Amino acid sequence: MSERALVEAATKARLCARALYSNFQVGAAVLGKSGRVYTGSNVESSSYGLTLCAERLALCVALHEGEEEILEIAVVADTDGAPGPCGACRQMMYDFAPQARVTMENLRGDQRVVQVGELLPWGFGPGDLAAFNTRRSGDE
């Protein structure tokens, strides 16, 4: 699976967005270690805060389908430059795809490629809770 094919899958997924309120459509595609690709688009609620972002949906579909490791993520939106994922999506990537490479591209092909760690430097993750629980069980 080439990076181009993953961006194309995200571009296609973007057309499924339910962005009735913002009209801002986002598509995401996730490549798992199994070779399978999972996609998502943003789904907005009339109660705005319930909105699901494309990246989190694609990630959760992959997890739900049993994918154990996420290798690549592509995000496509109609931004001026390459579209940076929101903070919540960065956190979910950090939790569930810490080693993944993220390709962000707008509709004109402006692209940026980074590692998940670069999107959330000094982030909070599963390791922090594991360390805390280990310390705490030592205290008891």
Which residues are part of the catalytic machinery? 55
Positions 35 through 64 that interact with ligand THU (CB under 6 A) = 42, 44, 51, 53-55
Please answer whether residues 25 and 57 qualify as being in contact, where contact means their C-beta atoms are separated by less than 8 angstroms. Answer: no
Residue 24 interacting with ligand THU (CB under 6 A): yes
12 vs 127: CA distance, rounded Å: 35
CB of 123 to ligand THU, least distance (A): 16
CB of 79 to ligand THU, least distance (A): 9
- Using DSSP, state whether 140 is helix, strand or coil: coil
Query: Would you say 32 or 85 has its CB closer to ligand THU?
Result: 85
Number of residues that bind ligand THU (CB under 6 A): 13
Residue 74 interacting with ligand THU (CB under 6 A): no
Residue in 1, 19, 71, 114 binding ligand THU, rule: CB under 6 A: 19
Long-range Cβ contact pairs of 40-48 (< 8 A, separation 24 or more): 40/13, 41/13, 41/14, 41/15, 41/16, 41/17, 42/17, 42/18, 43/17, 43/18, 44/18, 44/19, 44/20, 46/21, 48/21
Residues lying near ligand THU in the complex (CB under 6 A) are found at 19, 22, 24, 26, 42, 44, 51, 53-55, 85-86, 89
